[in-house]
Chains A and B, each alone.
Chain A
Amino acid sequence: MDISPEHLSDVARLAWPGDDLTRIPDWVYTDQGVYEREVERIFHGRTWNYVALEAELPNAGDFIRSNVGPTPVVVSRAKDGAVHVFENRCTHRAAEFCRELTGNVKEFVCPYHQWTYDLKGKLQGVPFRRGVAGAGGMPKEFSPANHNPRQLAVTTHRGVVFASYAEDMEPLAEYLGPEVMREFEATFDGRKLVILGHYRHSLPGNWKLYHENLKDPYHATLLHTFLVAFGLLVAGNKSLMLADASGRHGVMCSAKSDPSKVTAEAKGEMRAFREGMRLADPRMMDFIDEFDSPWSVTMATIWPNLIVQREMNTLGIRQLVPTGPNEFIMKWTMFGFEGDSEEMTRHRLRQGNLMGPAGFLGLEDNEAIKFVQDGMLRVPGGEHVVALDPATPFGTSQTLISESAIRGMYRHWREVMGL
């Protein structure tokens, strides 16, 4: 991505307040120049970006539209069975040539002038390349091989497809680190995935706020009164806020507990806690222990654009697509496993009421992120306080009442961004 000199100088004027990670300035979330640098250095930089599940592309010729950062890409399965990822931009006149969300094709044809691309994204045909009756056409030296859309490096693990603009990315296992990989493999445990459907929504906030929300276990027992009211997630739960060594990835983990064991002290701090409250249909909150993990809930934030949700038995991918500093799009892909009974699938769907843009928890996260961005845009020039748990300056924390994982993420972000 081309950064104009004006933007460089804009960003150059920004300075982090001191060397302290407990204060985050607003411009991190609102500045256009910072956003453009994020696209260049993070989404188009040395990262593995989620683009698809292999279950969405079972056959040769299957494709989906996806994104790496804001950039539209096509993910397709070629005849040799390999998955390819390339920019959805015709090399002739820039048209975003693949318009369908998903489908099966033999080749991609740009509708504007019918330049054609094969399933690997290689330019195959240019109509009238040699003109008509000896007149017109492309210059003699025109080489289709030099006019392929930008190809991205691809890696897949347990049915999850990642792409990178960096050609020499380290293997995914190294990128995630052993602890985050262990949680990834607890959810993607080798069973074949079955797609149950998608949610898509836009959010008027900065994309990093979504990572932070899931690196902020403090909010879970306070904002999400539904969980607390029914005694399902309370401050005394066995829990862990895991961060990888770099600080960019994280996994928020908790184990369902017995609400009768909540201490009086914890109850007093949680306004929403009500003893003896029950759902009219409590099936929604059942947990069927199907994973090799001590945790009933894990929310993995995999830098920079992937959230893996394992909320008891409702499972989903959330893909972040930033569209500017103040807005992003989220695409959710909910899944189950081959071999799920009809009742298990329905259980996953019922439990899905917790999440997504209408979920009891999901809608609250979305609203909270909007409120945060509103606050920054309307009272600008301020800073955020992320000072909880000073005993852990950054990284993994054993307590829910901590913001150390957010600080760890910004330690990494500042390094990559040079800010």
Chain B
Amino acid sequence: MTDARIEALLLRADIEAFNAEYCARLDRQDLDAWVQCFAEDAFYVVISRENFERGHPVGLIYCEGRPMIQDRAFALLKTAMFGPRYLRHMVSNLSVAPQPDGSVQARANFVVFEVLTDRPDARILQVGEYRDIFVREGAELKLRERRCVYDNLLIPTALCIPV
């Protein structure tokens, strides 16, 4: 194989590993560790496809910078009241586009299942697409931007754990 092809495969594997770890942190509701997935100047938004496609900026969660992401984690862990639940984040269909400035644009589909303690079924909380920009901090990948664009416009009750 050519070096370029190997490099592309390695980058892809890195991002797949990143996404798996990102989901694992959310699934075990380790939100402090989740915050560490982001670069200091990161932008994180959970936005409906309706808003995204119309150019409306409103997000369910809207964070400019890691400190705001940290506040989100703190508030959910320490102050927010919501019923107990388990979540599973699934990611697939990754596409990767390295940029001239060294950052990497990526997209992937996601599905988030949510199980409440009083129902037998796992319901689909969200289905959508991650639209990402990754940067390297040392050897580590970090998200400079993650836009979670969700298709199911009608949220069932509340979105308690991030996407």
Pairwise interchain contact B57-A349, C-beta atoms closer than 8 A: yes
State which of A280, A281, A356, A363 has its C-beta within 8 Å of the C-beta of B80: A363
Q: How far is the CA of A198 from the CA of B50 in the complex (A)?
A: 8
Which residues of chain B come closer than 8 Å to A350, judged between CB atoms?
A: 62-64, 68
Q: Given A284-B71, A367-B158, is A356 in contact with B60 using a C-beta cutoff of 8 Å?
A: yes
Q: How far is the CA of A356 from the CA of B153 in the complex (A)?
A: 13
Pairwise interchain contact B80-A364, C-beta atoms closer than 8 A: yes
Pairwise interchain contact B67-A281, C-beta atoms closer than 8 A: yes
Q: How far is the CA of A370 from the CA of B158 in the complex (A)?
A: 10
Pairwise interchain contact B81-A364, C-beta atoms closer than 8 A: yes
Which residues of chain B come closer than 8 Å to A329, judged between CB atoms?
A: 154
A243 to chain B, nearest CB (A): 27
Pairwise interchain contact A201-B157, C-beta atoms closer than 8 A: yes
Which residues of chain A come closer than 8 Å to B83, judged between CB atoms?
A: 367, 370-371
Q: How far is the CA of A353 from the CA of B44 in the complex (A)?
A: 12
What mask results when residues 74 to 85 of chain B are scored 1 for a CB within 8 Å of chain A, else 0? Answer: 110011111100
Pairwise interchain contact A363-B82, C-beta atoms closer than 8 A: yes
Of residues 257 through 280 on chain A, the ones whose CB sits less than 8 Å from some CB of chain B are: 272, 279-280
CB nearest to B35 among chain A residues? A280
Interface size classification for chain A: 35 or more
State which of A202, A280, A362, A364 has its C-beta within 8 Å of the C-beta of B68: A280
Q: How far is the CA of A225 from the CA of B158 in the complex (A)?
A: 17
CB nearest to B60 among chain A residues? A358
Which residues of chain B come closer than 8 Å to A196, judged between CB atoms?
A: 56-58
Which residues of chain A come closer than 8 Å to B118, judged between CB atoms?
A: 374
The answer, yes or no, to whether A368 is at the interface (CB within 8 Å) is: yes
The answer, yes or no, to whether A366 is at the interface (CB within 8 Å) is: yes
Q: How far is the CA of A195 from the CA of B55 in the complex (A)?
A: 10
A225 to chain B, nearest CB (A): 4
Of residues 190 through 222 on chain A, the ones whose CB sits less than 8 Å from some CB of chain B are: 195-204
Q: How far is the CA of A199 from the CA of B57 in the complex (A)?
A: 11
Residues of A that sit less than 8 Å from B by CB: 101, 195-204, 223, 225-226, 229, 272, 279-281, 284, 329, 334, 345-346, 349-350, 352-353, 356-358, 360, 362-364, 366-368, 370-371, 374
Can you spell out 25 A-B residue pairs with CB atoms less than 8 angstroms apart?
Answer: A196-B58, A197-B57, A199-B58, A199-B60, A200-B155, A201-B155, A201-B156, A202-B154, A226-B75, A226-B79, A229-B78, A281-B68, A281-B70, A334-B58, A349-B59, A349-B62, A350-B63, A358-B160, A363-B160, A364-B82, A366-B157, A366-B158, A367-B157, A367-B158, A370-B83
